């Protein structure tokens, strides 16, 4: 059973919320970041880029302390306000042909430890430790872990009923994304939601594996240092955003490789022929349409690669993933890329226009070959997580990508 709790959020004053909420700072170009910091004093980016106030770049523990200072200033200036009641926060995102509606809530470290909150990616211990130290210093979660759950009629009924009321926030950002947020604090509704989630067997992390792992590590540190630990302290939970499986959007990551590992084009195609039935599609833009089917762009031409299933052996859920198949049949044995995370010879791209970008990069000589895959499904993610396995890096690009600073969970 999943433990999902309401909390007293720190959130922007109503008249300032469109200016406060920001995308992840990694999504901004250097010029964009400079423009926001220069002309928007309310942006959450001022908190996570605290050195801007002093025209100085800071990092490590010094930055962590300054982040906390900027956060305090936002509270002191009433840019951020604290809710008086424990609440769930219903949040809707809508753009183009994508829409989702889910809950900001506090999820349990104990559930993470007991594998009720399930994972499908590896985490890197030094990153866990660094972010745990960051959380220990700044004392808040501002970026939720994105999780998904099996569609549930009771939960969806409560959500749909709330969506018929006027939201607390309703605004559109400059990237043409519409945002709505409702505060759900009535005791009866809160209890109904908590009870409904206890009937779910699992929650699945979609995005935020390092954030959840770091929150777990922080809880272990705080428990060890607190002789009066009860299990009810705020550090025993972390902020998450939960949406039903049907509302998550998963995109593929394409792969581009800088060289053919010393092989000629003909030698490379002959090596591929051992695992795939190859068809030359010429210069027509070509994308795969089903699992175990790949598109390749090489030397000005597209190829379809159909996996020879009598040659490749399926042994578990991981072996059935197209990203794993490509690694086991091509990237590793033929192109000698063993470290998918750190090898400089491989790069990744996502998005509906990425196959065009991939073609351009190969045509310009920046890469020798590109591979396009179909998106991994939620069922495949669940199968990997349920089996305790992990996917290759850059297997999924998942939406929604959430704003920072809309709700904050104090630790």
- Count Cβ neighbours within 10 Å for each residue of 2-29 and write b for 16 or more, e otherwise: bbbbbbbbbbbeeebbbbbbbbeeeebe
Are the beta carbons of 273 and 338 closer than 8 angstroms?
Answer: no
DSSP string covering 192-241:
HHHHHHHT-S-EEEEE-HHHHHHHHHHHHHHHHH-TT--S-SGGGEEEEE
Mean pLDDT in residue range 304-332: 95
- Distances in Å between the Cα of 302 and the Cα atoms of 251, 285, 298 are 21, 7, 6
Residue 304 has pLDDT above 80, yes or no: yes
pLDDT at 25 over 80: no
Contact 306, 315 (CB under 8 A): no
Three-state secondary-structure class, residue 411: coil
pLDDT tens for residues 323-379?
999 999 999 999 999 999 999 999 999 876 789 999 999 999 999 999 999 999 999
Domains delineated in the chain: 4-250+399-410 (no CATH), 253-395 (3.30.1760)
Residues 6+ apart with CB under 8 A from 368: 257, 258, 259, 260, 298, 362
Lowest mean pLDDT among 28-37, 192-201, 326-335, 380-389: 28-37
Residue 16 has pLDDT above 90, yes or no: yes
Higher pLDDT, 55 or 296: 296
What's the pLDDT tens digit per position in 65-112?
999 999 999 999 999 999 999 999 999 999 988 999 999 999 999 999
> For residues 52, 72, 77 and 42, what is the CA-based torsion angle, rounded to 10 degrees?
40
Separation CA 296–CA 305 (nearest Å)? 7
The candidate with the shortest Cα–Cα distance to 35, out of 144, 178, 174, 179, is 174
With cut-offs at 50, 70 and 90, classify the pLDDT of residue 271.
very high
Structure tokens at 82: 């604290």
The structure tokens listed for 220 are 């272990």
The pLDDT of residue 281 is 96
Q: Which uninterrupted H or E stretch holds 72?
A: helix 60-76
Tell me what pLDDT residue 76 has: 97
- Confidence grade of residue 52 (pLDDT, cut at 50, 70, 90): confident
Q: Output the average pLDDT for the chain.
A: 95
* 308 touches 360 (CB < 8 A): no
In the chain, what's the furthest Cα-to-Cα distance?
69
The rounded radius of gyration (Å) of the Cα atoms in the chain is 23
Q: What pLDDT was estimated at residue 40?
A: 95
pTM (two decimals): 0.93
* Residue 379, CA distances (Å) to 92, 295, 384 in order: 24, 23, 9
* pLDDT at residue 352, rounded to an integer: 67
151: Cα separation from own chain's centroid = 20
């Amino acid at each position: 059973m999943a433990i999902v709790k309401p909390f007293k959020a720190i959130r922007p004053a109503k008249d300032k919320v469109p200016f406060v909420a920001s995308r992840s700072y990694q999504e901004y170009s250097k010029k964009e970041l400079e423009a926001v910091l220069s002309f928007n004093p309310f942006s959450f980016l001022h908190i996570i880029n605290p050195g801007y106030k002093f025209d100085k770049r800071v990092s490590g523990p010094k930055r962590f302390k300054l982040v906390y200072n900027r956060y305090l200033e936002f509270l002191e200036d009433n840019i951020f306000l604290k809710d008086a009641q424990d609440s769930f926060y219903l949040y809707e995102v809508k753009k183009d042909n994508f829409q989702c509606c889910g809950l900001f809530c506090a999820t349990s470290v104990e559930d993470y430890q007991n594998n009720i909150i399930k994972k499908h990616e590896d985490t890197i211990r030094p990153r866990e430790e660094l972010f745990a130290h960051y959380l220990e210093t700044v004392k808040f979660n501002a970026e939720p872990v994105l999780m998904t759950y099996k569609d549930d009629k009771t939960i969806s009924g409560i959500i749909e009923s709330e969506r018929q009321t006027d939201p607390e926030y309703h605004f559109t950002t400059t990237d043409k994304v519409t945002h709505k947020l409702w505060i759900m604090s009535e005791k009866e509704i809160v209890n109904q939601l908590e009870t409904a989630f206890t009937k779910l067997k699992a929650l699945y992390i979609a995005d935020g594996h390092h954030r959840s792992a770091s929150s777990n590590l922080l809880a272990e540190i705080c428990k060890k240092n607190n002789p009066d630990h009860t299990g009810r302290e705020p550090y025993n939970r972390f902020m998450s955003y939960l949406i039903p499986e049907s509302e998550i959007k998963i995109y593929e990551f394409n792969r581009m490789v800088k060289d053919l590992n010393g092989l000629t084009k003909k030698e490379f195609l002959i090596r591929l022929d051992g695992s795939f039935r190859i068809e030359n599609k010429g210069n027509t833009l070509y994308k795969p349409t089903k699992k175990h089917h790949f598109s390749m762009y090489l030397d000005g031409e597209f190829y379809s690669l159909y996996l020879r299933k009598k040659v490749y052996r399926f042994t578990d859920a991981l072996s059935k993933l197209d990203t794993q198949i490509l690694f086991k049949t091509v990237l590793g044995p033929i192109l000698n890329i063993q470290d998918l995370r750190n090898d400089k010879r491989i790069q990744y791209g996502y998005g509906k226009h990425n196959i065009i970008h991939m073609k351009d990069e190969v045509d310009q000589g920046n890469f020798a070959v590109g591979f396009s895959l179909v998106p991994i499904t939620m069922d495949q993610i669940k199968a990997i997580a349920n089996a305790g396995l992990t996917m290759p890096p850059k297997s999924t690009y998942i939406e929604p990508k959430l704003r920072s600073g809309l709700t904050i969970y104090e630790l």
